[in-house]
Amino acid sequence: MHTALQSLKARFAEIDDLRRAGSVLQWDMSTYMPQDGTASRGRMIATVEKAAHEKLIDPALAELLETASGLPEATLSTDDRAFLRLARRQFTRASKIPSAFKAEFLQHMAETYDVWIHARKANDFNAVAPFLEKTVRYSQAISDFFNSGETAWVHPMDPHIEDADPGMTTAGLTTLFADLRQDLVPLVRKLSSHTRPRTDFLSRVYPKPRQLEFLNWLAQSIGYNFNRGRQDLTHHPFMTKLGAGDVRITTRVDETNLCDGIFSTIHESGHAFYEVGISPSLDGTILGHGTSAGIHESQSRLWENLVGRSREFWAYFYPHLQAHFSDTLQDVSLEEFYHGINHVQPSLIRTDADEVTYNLHVMIRFDIESQLLDGSLKVRDLPGMWNDRYKSDLGIRPPSDAQGCLQDVHWYYGSIGGMFQGYTIGNLFSAQCYDAALKAHPEIPEAMMQGNFNVLHSWLKENIYQHGSSLFPQELIQRVTGRDLSSKPFLEYLKRKYL
């Protein structure tokens, strides 16, 4: 029976290798691939993913899983028990989706991504709308696959959410988000009425090559290891793990938007820290990845906002930034820079949003994709609905679809539903997590002022990173903070900082 467990691990290791090979193809498609390579690349990605999926639903794997699951728990290590739990979950979920359907959908995703890139540049929603309509149908079909048999989901978005953030539901998140919105909306209004700080210097001209030099140095200074990764340019920044010694980040540089590159780099570095910090014993197994979208996002948002937008952080880094762009920032003080990068103002672009208004952007998307999936909103009406929600929730109306419903890649390279909620889950847990770190090590802010992040890295690795996927999200949150996920610590953080 222990032989069955070892054989099962070997099979899942092969599946993991195939998925990582697919990630190499996807990384290249998003960074260096020639424009005309989309069709063949989409086919290649679909072939690799189909092979991984067929291995996962192989009856022989099911037999090994059943045999290994019969082992007495007392004879298994903690990691073995976690492995079997996750293996059963992955097998059960994968068994509901036909391999041919998955391959077909992946091919469609690659084609849609290419159309979206051009549609966003041209501000042409109509060009990508037929592809998005097809994505909605694919996403609804996935919901139907999971709504058969003994499982009956309350909302068609539930199985998508469960895939990204186990244990979460549409209803539960709707309640959590409503509580958050109740406090956020008046806070945004109050802060928006404050005197506007100086921000003119953020839109001066910062040449791309010099920005990239600084961004690479910045990533390395906060702990990113270029012997185990690299940073490249892309349309929509992301992190990808191609192996334990190859965790790559991407960024986006705008010569008249200094914050874009800086906070993209810090954000994606946070994702990379998580993956690099996973215990080496879990490498090559299904446990060797972050446990959920929301927990992963909590680590990137912790570094981007609670660390990267703090006064202590810039007390160390601003003199270096100022020296690197001495001709551009010589008339800007540290205090002016700090207030400028933390200015609260409703804006159109989610990835550019300040940390106070950011979650309103997420909740708009969460509500819209919920309506797309249940059929109450048609794709043709998406731009209008989007613009109306921005007007009612943030007080501004997008002047174009490029700044509206075309701005995010998610619906144009993925399914509808199940991803955006992770951003707000991440924001909430980042505050809970950082509170716990500060209680354990009150010296962390002082260390940051010296450019020292070792204590924070060590605490995060010990309490979060090393576990990989061996703990489910709620288990990890409870272990780290001693309480369930809550909006209270996040709101308290915002009020302490901004009021």
CB atoms within 10 A of CB 341: 19
Check: CB of residue 298 under 8 Å from CB of residue 479.
no
410 shares a domain with 314 = yes
Q: Are residues 205 and 76 in the same domain?
A: no
Of 67, 95, 123, the residue at which a domain comes to its end is: 95
**Overall average pLDDT of the 161-176 stretch:** 91
Instruction: Tell me what the mean pLDDT of segment 90-94 comes to.
Output: 92
On whether residue 373 sits in a domain, the answer given is: yes
Task: Write down the pTM of the prediction.
Answer: 0.90
In a domain, 157, yes or no: no
Task: For residue 397, give the CATH number of its domain.
Answer: 1.10.1370.30
Per the CB < 8 A criterion, the answer to whether 184 and 354 are in contact is no
Count of domains observed in the chain: 2
Based on the fold, state whether residues 194 and 330 are members of the same structural domain. Answer: yes
Helix (H/G/I), strand (E/B), else coil: 353: coil
The closest of 205, 482, 188 to 328, measured between CA atoms, is 205
Provide the 10 A C-beta neighbour count for residue 51.
18
Sign of CA dihedral 112, 118, 123, 126: negative
372 close to 136: Cβ distance less than 8 angstroms? yes
Residue 335 host element (H or E): helix 334-341
Quote the CA–CA distance of 397 and 129 in Å, as a whole number: 21
Record the tokens describing residue 172, joined without a space: 């539960």
Q: In terms of residue numbers, what domain contains 20?
A: 2-95
Give yes or no: residues 80 and 197 share one domain. Answer: no
Per-residue pLDDT of 308-354, as tens digits, reads 999 999 999 999 999 999 999 999 999 999 999 999 989 999 988 99
Whether residue 148 is predicted with pLDDT greater than 90 in this model: the reply is: no
* C-alpha–C-alpha distance, residues 303 and 315, integer Å: 16
Alpha-carbon gap, residue 113 to 412, rounded angstroms: 5
Is residue 268 part of the annotated active site? The answer reads yes
Give the model confidence (pLDDT) of 208-234 as tens digits: 999 999 999 999 999 999 999 999 999
- Provide CB contacts within 8 A for 189, sequence distance 6+: none
Query: Does a structural domain hold residue 110?
Result: no
How far apart CA 368 and CA 373 sit, in angstroms, is: 9
Per-residue pLDDT of 484-499, as tens digits, reads: 999 999 999 999 999 9
Question: Residue 320 annotated as binding?
Answer: no
Q: Is residue 114, in this structure, part of any structural domain at all?
A: no
**Residue 139 belongs to a domain:** no
Given a contact cutoff of 8 angstroms between Cβ atoms, the answer to whether 400 and 123 are in contact is yes
Active-site residue (options: 111, 213, 255, 268) = 268
- Domain boundary, last residue among 95, 114, 135: 95
267 is in an annotated binding site: yes
Which residue among 75, 95, 115 closes a domain? Answer: 95
Asked whether residue 82 falls in the same domain as residue 195, the answer is no
- 268: nearest Cα among 309, 224, 210, 235: 224
For residues 177 and 77, state if they share a domain.
Answer: no
In a domain, 62, yes or no: yes
CB atoms within 10 A of CB 397: 15
DSSP class of residue 395? S
Q: Is 122 contained in some domain?
A: no
151 part of a folded domain: no
Single out the residue of 108, 156, 153 nearest to residue 133, CA to CA. 108
